[in-house]
Amino acid sequence: MYMTMRQYRVEPGQLDEVARRVDDDWLGKVRAMHGFISYHVFKGGDDHLVSITTFLDEKEAMTATEASAEWVGEHLSDMKVEFIETRQGPVLIHGGA
């Protein structure tokens, strides 16, 4: 398994709308990608959202990361969403289902 974490700074008053758009549109797209295992978004502070995506292997994760960046650019361009960083790597320990 391979995991990617993407961190964003979002205008505090726009967090709910960004989350709604991600849930309504992006979640279905990422779930449909080959090798998908899981996707989570959490509020990492008053103005931070963090997404964590897990795929079967690195190649599939990289494809999803590129698609995510494109989706954000196309669907959140009218909002104050600033990409901060990506961290990624192979999963060493997995305790889920």
DSSP strand pairing (81-90 vs 2-10): antiparallel
Residue 45 is predicted with a pLDDT of 85
State the DSSP code for 12. Answer: G
Domains of the chain (ranges, CATH numbers): 2-89 (3.30.70.100)
pTM of the model: 0.88
Digit-by-digit pLDDT tens for the chain (97 residues) are 999 999 999 998 999 999 999 999 999 999 999 999 999 999 988 899 999 999 999 999 999 999 999 999 999 999 999 999 999 999 999 987 6
Query: From CA 25, how far away is CA 45, in angstroms rounded?
Result: 23
Q: Two tokens at 15?
A: 């967090």
Residue 24 is predicted with a pLDDT of 96
Measured in degrees and rounded to the nearest 5, phi and psi for residue 16 equal -65, -40
In single-letter form, the type of residue at position 6 comes to: R
Concatenated DSSP letters for 57-82? SHHHHHHHHHHHHHHHHHHSTTS-EE
In single-letter form, the type of residue at position 70 comes to: E
Q: How far is CA 32 from CA 43, 45, 58, 68, in A?
A: 24, 29, 17, 13
